[in-house]
Amino acid sequence: FYFFLVQSLDPLPMHGRDLGVHPDDLIEPPEQEQESKQEILENKDVVVQHVNIEGLGRTKEDLLGYEISDVFHAKSLIDVRVCHTSMSTLHCTCLKQKPVLGTDALPNGLDVTFEVTEIKRLTGSYNTMVGNNEGSMVLGLKLPNMFGRAEKLTFQFSYGTKETSYGLSFFKPQPGFFERNLTLNLYKVTGQFPWSSLKETDRGVSAELNFPLGVTSHTLKWEGVWRELGCLARSASFAVREESGHSLKSAVSHTVSVDSRNSAIFPSRGALFRINQELAGYTGGDASFLKEDFELQLNRRLFWDSVLSASLWGGMLYPIKGQPSCIADRFYLGGPTSVRGFGMYSIGPQSEGDYLGGEAYWAGGLHLYTPLPFRPGKGGFGDLFRTHFFLNAGNLCNLNYGEGPQAHLQKLAECIRWSYGAGIVLRLGNIARLELNYCVPMGVQSGDRYILRFTQICKISVI
């Protein structure tokens, strides 16, 4: 059997909004003396004449116009009450909304007052996280709404059993359109990879632009990294020792995704499609390659609240300028987030027991999730559990790019590793899940590491 906890471990929480207290829980009822008049206007047309905002300090007025514009388009008192939620995007909390009858001009005119409390200038956090077979302690500081237009400055320090990292991130959204934002990062990350007897320290800067386009979401990113590779143990193979040393990587990447799933942890319907391209070497540095990978997931609800999920992903790395690929840039396969039943990243090319990764791979999974037998705890705690039946397969290898596409496909179709099994899945809120599975690995090749009974903790993955 094995356990695995699925949880995101991004070094910097660069995205999302700090909403604070949910305004729906704190709306006070309208004053008693206005109750009869508001009941009359409940289903009649009204006109918002004035909007007053009380309690703002550092938030700029030019940002408010984008967020309260819906209030002026309200046609009824119900619409006015709903519009208070727009204030949450301003890094402040709407504590009270008072629509009152206007005293001049139109008889059905309204004066709307928002009483808000801005989030503190400085907030901190402390938590522990688990992932990739390690635990870590995370300390964080945030300066929300730094310049009054929903900017956010974040500092995070993470001390783990295998790696230590820290970073500084600045988040700047477009006023009135928070899905379009810019993030700047400065960071240092140290990681240990025992399957390759490798230790890596990255010091870098990056700039990331996120924006939607139709039904798709896009991310443009530039990253400059000073990488230091070293051996994790004296027993490291000669192939890993050859990779040791310093290198500079400057790369631009583009990611496009379409996500219609109703949940990232336990989706019961919808699909996910993501494509990522990365080009290194044309903006400086000594790493030169073109790297592409994709991810596809389909989910469909069946009978008796069961869900069938299918996933497929793959990728290819093409070295350019006559330089060989680096062990830190290659793909890795194996473990509970890809082909279950195999050791973590223990499929594919290896040297003296150290896994070196590959330049091309594919993997897929077919999963059936059903309620627990006899539905114990239905409607409550029991709904957090699901039974899990799965079939995984994949392959990782290096390609001879002098050959044609047919030869590449033939090599990827050789020596396929696959596994099947069953288990129980527990949903931990909306951020993680815990699996207890029994796996039967098949198609094991010489050098692969497979385990029938093991305990593993890993990052989230949509397999």
In this prediction, residue 428 carries a pLDDT of 79
Mean pLDDT for the stretch of residues 60-79: 71
Residue 273 to residue 311: CA distance in whole angstroms: 10
At position 63, the amino acid (one-letter code) is L
Mean pLDDT for the stretch of residues 420-435: 83
At position 328, the amino acid (one-letter code) is A
More confidently predicted of 365 and 98? 365
pLDDT tens digit sequence for 429-442:
777 788 888 888 88
pLDDT tens digit sequence for 329-381:
999 998 888 898 888 888 989 888 899 999 999 999 999 999 888 777 676 77
Residue 386 to residue 397: CA distance in whole angstroms: 34
More confidently predicted of 209 and 424? 209
Average per-residue pLDDT for the chain: 79
Mean pLDDT for the stretch of residues 21-37: 43
Half-sphere exposure of 92 (CA within 13 A, CB side): 26
Query: Bridge-partner residues for 342, per DSSP?
Result: 450
Q: Minimal CA–CA distance to 213: which of 252, 184, 254?
A: 254
pLDDT tens digit sequence for 179-232:
899 999 999 998 888 899 999 999 999 999 999 999 999 999 999 999 999 998
Mean pLDDT for the stretch of residues 10-15: 36
Q: Grade residue 85 by pLDDT with cuts at 50, 70 and 90.
A: low
In this prediction, residue 79 carries a pLDDT of 66
Q: Rounded to whole angstroms, what are the CA distances from 28 to 32, 54, 68, 81?
A: 11, 15, 19, 11
Q: b/e string for 401-432 if b means 16 or more Cβ within 10 A?
A: eeeeeeebeebbeebebbbbbebebebeeeeb
Residue 358 to residue 333: CA distance in whole angstroms: 9
Lowest-confidence region among 131-145, 148-162, 351-365, 389-403: 131-145
Check whether 80 has a pLDDT greater than 60. yes
Q: Are 367 and 373 in contact (CB under 8 A)?
A: no
* Highest mean pLDDT (candidates 11-15, 147-151, 232-236, 316-320): 316-320
Q: Are 392 and 418 in contact (CB under 8 A)?
A: yes
Q: Grade residue 304 by pLDDT with cuts at 50, 70 and 90.
A: confident
User: Which helix H or strand E contains 279, and what residues bound it?
Assistant: strand 270-285
In this prediction, residue 106 carries a pLDDT of 65
Q: Minimal CA–CA distance to 451: which of 426, 413, 421, 424?
A: 421
| Structure tokens given for 376 | 């114990």
Q: Are 269 and 262 in contact (CB under 8 A)?
A: yes
pLDDT tens digit sequence for 237-291:
999 999 999 999 999 999 999 999 998 888 889 999 999 999 998 888 888 999 9
In this prediction, residue 28 carries a pLDDT of 42
Of all residues in the chain, the percent with pLDDT exceeding 70 is 78
* Highest mean pLDDT (candidates 115-119, 147-151, 165-169): 165-169
Q: What is the dihedral of CA 362, 368, 372, 378, to 10 degrees?
A: 110
Check whether 301 has a pLDDT greater than 90. yes
In this prediction, residue 2 carries a pLDDT of 39
In the chain, what's the furthest Cα-to-Cα distance? 86
Strands 216-231, 198-213: parallel, antiparallel or unpaired by DSSP? antiparallel
In this prediction, residue 12 carries a pLDDT of 35
Q: Are 157 and 163 in contact (CB under 8 A)?
A: no
Check whether 460 has a pLDDT greater than 70. no
Residue 209 to residue 16: CA distance in whole angstroms: 14
- Please provide residue 409's backbone torsions phi and psi, each rounded to the nearest 5 degrees: -65, -35
Sign of the four-CA dihedral 123, 126, 129, 134: positive
Q: Are 95 and 115 in contact (CB under 8 A)?
A: yes
Lowest-confidence region among 12-16, 91-95, 333-337, 385-389: 12-16
* Highest mean pLDDT (candidates 12-21, 88-97, 274-283): 274-283
Residue 187 to residue 413: CA distance in whole angstroms: 39
